[in-house]
Amino acid sequence: MIKPLACVLGGALFLYLAISAGPRVFAAGSVAPVRLDRDKIAGLGLTAIPPDAFKDILVAGTLNMRVANVFEGKELRAEVFESSPAKTNHRTRPTDGDEFVYVLSGKLILTEPNGTIQEFRPGDSLVLPMGYAGTWEMQGNYRELAVVMQKRPK
């Protein structure tokens, strides 16, 4: 029951991105759906993130991370993120936007500050509300598609 629901929610999100939140403005002022790059979703052509970018929250492992932006709009950003096995603690750096995550490969273990543990495998999806401050443990060749609400200027 959960897997079909995740597929429906994931499909609805992609449809929403492609139709309403994924416009690309052209010279004539028209808009069109944005197709997400299949190669980037498959992990090809990702850009390395400097390993020291997250050293302040690294708990275990080595952060060999790569990322590719597949959509950037006014309110949403979609990106593919990949990491070697590592664990980070976001207590001092909570998430700065609501985030939908669809696990593409590897395994993600989230541990909330109260000790609640949740595991996510390929095909699983989740939403992290802004301000999540638990740990992320990425196992295997972890890769995700993340859709993040942009922070609005104050």
Kindly report, residue by residue over 38-69, the tens digit of the pLDDT.
Answer: 989 888 888 898 877 887 788 888 888 899 99
CA distance between the termini of the chain: 41
pTM of the model: 0.75
4 is written with which tokens? Answer: 């079909």
63 is written with which tokens? Answer: 């952060």
Burial class (CB in 10 A: 0-12, 13-18, 19+), 77: middle
Kindly report, residue by residue over 71-103, the tens digit of the pLDDT.
Answer: 888 888 899 999 999 998 887 777 778 899 999
